[in-house]
């Protein structure tokens, strides 16, 4: 649940916050949304709930290889996950979210607050209307926070990062209910309801 504030985030401010440490645009994922190759079957690859990638039951230990695979990952309308190239599409298993957000930075620019998340696969995203932060509660009552990274791909927010968000949260009245929420790019995101 989000609620928009009166201020709108400047898209150029967000673009500046997404630059790498040298001030250059980060290399983004492949344009898999433009590709429509034939389905070639299931691949014995799995992304566990803790973000670890496996192939035929063996962990993929090379971060560069995981980053490469994540750059061609897509979630289709059937809610299945695929590795997609221009010539083939293979289905893989994802236990929860395909990415893990392991870092959050609170950045203020031109008087506006931005939450910048970084994933294990080095995706960087600002929480905003197009990349919402949401919290769902499991059967055990434990919060499971997610942020939209791109297209229909989410990252599970690591527990330590979520604790940081809780520390930054403010008591707000959103949609007629009291809650604790964080603000980013002119939007409020609920982290806990009262």
Q: Which two tokens stand for residue 166?
A: 């809780």
Q: What pLDDT is attached to residue 141?
A: 81
CA–CA dist 146, 148 (Å, integer): 7
CATH 3.40.640.10 fits 2-24+98-193, yes or no: no
* CATH match for 32-94 among 3.90.420.10, 3.30.1490.190, 3.40.30.10, 3.10.540.10: 3.10.540.10
Domain ranges of the chain: 2-24+98-193, 32-94
Q: Which residues does residue 150 pair with via DSSP β-bridges, in sequence order?
A: 153
**129 DSSP 8-state letter:** S
Q: What pLDDT is attached to residue 8?
A: 60
Query: Which residue is listed with tokens 């090379």?
Result: 62
For residue 130, is it left (φ>0), alpha (ψ between -120 and 50) or beta?
Answer: alpha
Q: What pLDDT is attached to residue 7?
A: 55
CA–CA dist 72, 90 (Å, integer): 11
CA–CA dist 101, 160 (Å, integer): 10
Buried b vs exposed e over 19-51: b needs ≥16 C-beta within 10 Å? eeeeeeeeeebbebeeeeeeeeeebebbbeeeb
Output the tens digit of pLDDT for each of the chain's 194 residues.
555 444 566 655 555 555 556 666 666 778 898 999 999 999 999 999 999 999 999 999 999 999 999 999 999 999 999 999 999 999 999 999 999 999 999 999 888 899 999 999 999 999 999 999 999 988 888 899 999 999 899 999 999 999 999 999 999 998 889 999 999 999 999 999 88
Whether the CB-CB separation of 46 and 54 falls below 8 Å is answered with: yes
CA–CA dist 91, 42 (Å, integer): 5
Q: Which two tokens stand for residue 193?
A: 């309801």
What's the pTM value of the predicted model, to 2 decimals?
0.85
Q: What pLDDT is attached to residue 139?
A: 83
- Output the CA–CA distances (angstroms, integers) from residue 118 to 18, 20, 149, in the order listed: 10, 12, 9
Q: Show the CA angle centred on residue 31, arms to residues 153 and 42, nearest 5°.
A: 60
């Amino acid at each position: 649940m989000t609620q928009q504030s009166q201020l709108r985030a400047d898209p150029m401010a967000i673009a500046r916050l997404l630059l790498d440490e040298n001030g250059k645009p980060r290399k983004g994922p492949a344009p898999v949304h433009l590709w429509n190759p034939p389905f070639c079957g299931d691949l014995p690859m799995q992304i566990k709930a803790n973000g670890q990638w496996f192939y035929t039951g063996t962990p993929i230990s090379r971060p560069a290889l995981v980053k490469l695979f994540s750059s061609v990952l897509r979630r289709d309308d059937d809610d299945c996950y695929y590795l997609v190239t221009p010539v083939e599409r293979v289905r893989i298993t994802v236990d929860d979210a395909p990415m893990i957000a392991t870092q959050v930075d609170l950045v203020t620019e031109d008087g506006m607050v931005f939450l910048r998340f970084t994933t294990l696969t080095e995706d960087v995203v600002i929480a905003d209307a197009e990349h919402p932060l949401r919290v769902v509660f499991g059967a055990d009552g434990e919060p499971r926070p997610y942020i939209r990274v791109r297209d229909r791909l989410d990252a599970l927010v690591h527990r330590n990062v979520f604790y940081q968000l809780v520390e930054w949260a403010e008591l707000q009245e959103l949609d007629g209910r009291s809650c604790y929420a964080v603000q980013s790019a002119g939007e409020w995101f609920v982290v806990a309801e009262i």
